Amino acid sequence: MPFGSLVIYTSSQKGSVEFDKQLFEKFGARVIRDSAKILLPTPRTTKRAIKILKSEAINIVWFGAAAPLALMSSALRKNGVGNIVALSHGHEVWWAKIPIFKQLLRKIIHDVNYLGYLGNFTKSELLKVSNDPDKLIQIAPGIDTNHFTPKVASNKLIAKHRLEDRRIIVCVARLVHRKGQDQLIQAMPKILESHPDAILLLVGVGPIKVMLENSARQLGITHKIVFTGRVSHNELPDYLAISEIFAMPVRSRFSGLEVEGLGIVYLEASACAKPVVVGNSGGAADAVIDGVTGVLVDSSKVDEISDAICKLLDDPIKSKQMGEAGRDWVVQNWQVSKWSDKFNKVLLGN
């Protein structure tokens, strides 16, 4: 989009002043912060959005998340907006499964010009709701393959976490039930039987850390599990570089209401030429070519997870080939430049 043409209306967040300043300097984007901590499509929010679009002469609107804010679409269109694009994520899937939310999602699709979906899974779920499939268009987040790229392992980082002479299995995700770190810990004893030099590196923070620590303690493998805590986006490629395998056996919860929309972190790992072990939840399967760039597993079966990881550790040449195939696949199909170009064309009506 042309520099200075973007106005962002969003909620208040701690420490946003510097962030907003950087957006303005880099993109000319002006950020208007609502006093609310969470922005919802209330009459007050809708009224203020209309006021902003009139004062800024806005005729194109983009909703970063379709549910629930795109419920304002009809009101905005009545006040001069021509093109409305909304993006869907994992939570639109559970909207599609509950009758009252299904009707609201159908209204959103009716009122917008286009609704973006992440991959085949989210598309299939949205098609169960939409009476107008032509409005559905794939818009994925995309991967910065210059940032996420194969790197030489950092000896300094290895020393920091005492990982010398270890075969590192890494998982990068919030420590929550859906991401499957508990299953990885349960899989480690069997992995260690044939690969005693293996170690599990859990990158991230979250509410189940104590539970995970207790599980490792009960299994007697606390020395084989490393919790890094919070790691910045800039550091992630370094953590992937010191690792041999990326594994995140995500699982669906609450009868499929909580699922993985895509699993962008799998693509980031693939971009760094790492083979990926992927849980069969929702759209996670869209982020791997099973048997080529990694392995798709039934995340409810610990033995299947451990077997997949052991096979990759058993065959470093095959593992390396999978990582290289993953890098090629991401460069060809998931680069951020490809998706940003497509998004801009949709947004600008080209």
CA distances from 175 to 21, 165, 184, 212 (A): 31, 26, 12, 9
Taking the C-alpha atoms of residue 207 and residue 305, their distance in angstroms, rounded to an integer, is 23
End-to-end CA distance of the chain: 12
**Tokens of residue 147, six digits:** 């940032």
Cβ–Cβ contacts within 10 Å for residue 234, how many?
A: 8
Taking the C-alpha atoms of residue 65 and residue 90, their distance in angstroms, rounded to an integer, is 10
Which pLDDT does position 55 carry in this prediction?
95
**Tokens of residue 209, six digits:** 């850390």
Name the CATH superfamily housing domain 40-142+335-347. Glycogen Phosphorylase B; (3.40.50.2000)
Cβ-based neighbours of 112, under 8 Å, separated by 6 or more? 63, 66, 70, 73, 84, 85, 86, 135
Residue ranges of the alpha helices (H) in 128-197?
155-160, 181-194
Taking the C-alpha atoms of residue 62 and residue 238, their distance in angstroms, rounded to an integer, is 34
- Mean pLDDT in consecutive groups of 10 residues from the start of the chain, 350 residues: 88 90 91 94 97 95 95 97 93 88 95 94 91 90 96 97 98 97 98 98 98 98 98 97 98 80 95 98 94 97 98 98 98 94 88
Exposed/middle/buried for residue 193 (C-beta within 10 Å: 0-12, 13-18, 19+): exposed
Quick one: DSSP state of residue 253? B
Q: Tokens 């550091």 label which residue? A: 235
Query: Which string of DSSP letters, residue by residue, matches 277-339?
Result: EEE-SGGGGGG--BTTTEEEE-TT-HHHHHHHHHHHHH-HHHHHHHHHHHHHHHHHH-BHHHH
C-alpha 90: how far from chain center = 9
Three-state DSSP state, 30: strand
Which pLDDT does position 14 carry in this prediction?
87
155-333: CATH, from 3.40.50.280, 3.30.70.100, 3.40.50.720, 3.40.50.2000? 3.40.50.2000
Taking the C-alpha atoms of residue 245 and residue 249, their distance in angstroms, rounded to an integer, is 13
Which pLDDT does position 152 carry in this prediction?
96
Q: Tokens 């805590």 label which residue? A: 229
C-alpha 344: how far from chain center = 21
Cβ–Cβ contacts within 10 Å for residue 43, how many?
A: 9
Domain boundaries, the chain: 40-142+335-347, 155-333
Same fold across 40-142+335-347 and 155-333: yes
Which pLDDT does position 252 carry in this prediction?
87
| Cross-strand pairs, 137 | 116
Residue ranges of the alpha helices (H) in the chain?
16-27, 43-55, 73-77, 91-95, 99-111, 120-127, 155-160, 181-194, 209-219, 236-241, 264-271, 302-314, 316-333, 336-347
